[in-house]
Amino acid sequence: MSITMEKLFNLPDLGEGLTESEILSWRVAEGDTVELNQVIAEVETAKAVVELPSPFSGVVKKLYEPVGAVVNVGKPIVSFEVAQAPGTSSPEAPRADAGAEKPQPTLVGYGAPTESSGRPARRARRTGAVSAQSPLNDEPVGSAAAAPPVQATDEVEAETRAEASRGIGHLRSSPPVRKLARDRGIDLQSVQGTGTKGLITREDVMHAAPGETSPDRSTSSKNAKAAPAPAPSSGDTRTPIRGVRKATAAAMVASAFTAPHVTVFLSVDVTETMALLERLRASKRFAGVKLTVTSLVAKVVTLSLARHRALNSQWDGENREIIEFGHVNLGLAAATERGLMVPVVHGAQRMDLAALAAAAGDLTHAAREGTITPPQLTGGTFSISNVGVFGIDAGTPILPPGQAGILAVGQVRKMPWEYQDEIALRQVMALSLSFDHRLVDGEQGASFLAEVGGILEDPGMLMGLI
């Protein structure tokens, strides 16, 4: 005779220290029978959409979070009724009444350990030189580093305790929602929650009419009124800041205010390179391979980085070291429906042009289809962004965190150009190189860009680098 036990499944750590995920869909419902490793949910991290497999065979007892909820790593999302023979115990997961602190098998690991506050703790940062098979923790642009876990300020915690003492806790709202209500002068007592079990959501507060602050707030502020929010318009839209957009914003701010950026520009006559590109596309060796201008630039960059290692390095302030990498993990910025993402071709220096083009095409396709995995978005050592596909000549790209350089490739367009002491109509491209001035001197950055531009102007110069 067998008995059943309730088993909790906590949101797993999906890799690289990601601290939260949004539930996009449930593939099961309460009461469904599931098998081990059956996909039960689809979640979106700051980097990718991931399918979660069931860690148990049994019956779904409870779904703890609705679709659209953003859940911290280590928090329960579903429980199962699992059959178990009498007299045996399962080390696989904690009992339903044992809390979420004990480790349990998950999709990737045991999940982020929880602190006394119940929030997931950050992993310790890995340092030192890293091989191509062990990518860095530092994040590229579009998946740029996931934002660190938000720690509640003393003020918010104090307000939360005060609200609990006033009996507001039963209104079922999160601290950020309560803070929003205070800022807008909304009395939560008058707000009808539309979330699960009456949860008051951010949208409920945003749609509530501003008015007097709560009685306690009014007393402490001598009947002062909160500043009214801008009047909503029928054409306004509000989108939660989460996922890729949230991670990208955090990474860009961190990079812009950490690394001193310098950008240098160079316009190049790429007529010969474009002719070479057409010949390669027509050859049997590249049959079935999508060769692009970016592919050629990527190959030139990987070869040039071996001669200009300062551009393929990292500033490790924590250990007071500069790491010069012996490999090239090349990030390739891609615009997707979820936002900017930067897939990484690991070990790009070992690939020939055909292999590099194929790898870049596969990763970019996966990013746009939403099937790319977190490891494929991390560990970049240098990046390329083709802004020319949007009809742009040049720009000043922001460095991905942890990288020393990023090259923006502009559009190729015909324009008058000096050629063999005459004015001719040539195909011209602008290159923009941003670099970290702590790691790269002006001469080093200019020398690298001049070499890349020189090869694109005369691709026969590649022979000098092979």
284 by Cβ neighbours in 10 Å (0-12 / 13-18 / 19+) ranks as: exposed
Evaluate whether 138 touches 45 at the Cβ level (below 8 Å).
no
**What phi and psi, each to the nearest 5 degrees, are found at residue 156?**
-65, -40
- Note the helical H segments in 99-193: 154-165, 175-184
**Is the four-CA dihedral 25, 29, 32, 33 of positive or negative sign?**
positive
Residue 53, SS3 per DSSP: strand
CB 41 within 8 A of CB 121: no
- Rg over alpha carbons for the chain, rounded to the nearest Å, is 27
- H or E segment at 390? none
Q: Which amino acid is at 82?
A: V
Distance, in Å, from the CA atom of 56 to the CA atom of 78, rounded to the nearest integer, reads 11
- CA–CA dist 178, 208 (Å, integer): 13
Q: What angle do CA 357, 363, 365 make, to 5 degrees?
A: 100
Q: Which residues are catalytic?
A: 437
> Dihedrals φ, ψ of 6, to 5°?
-85, 130
Kindly provide the b/e burial profile for residues 292-302, where b requires at least 16 CB atoms within 10 angstroms of the residue's own CB: bbbbbbbbbbb
DSSP 169: G
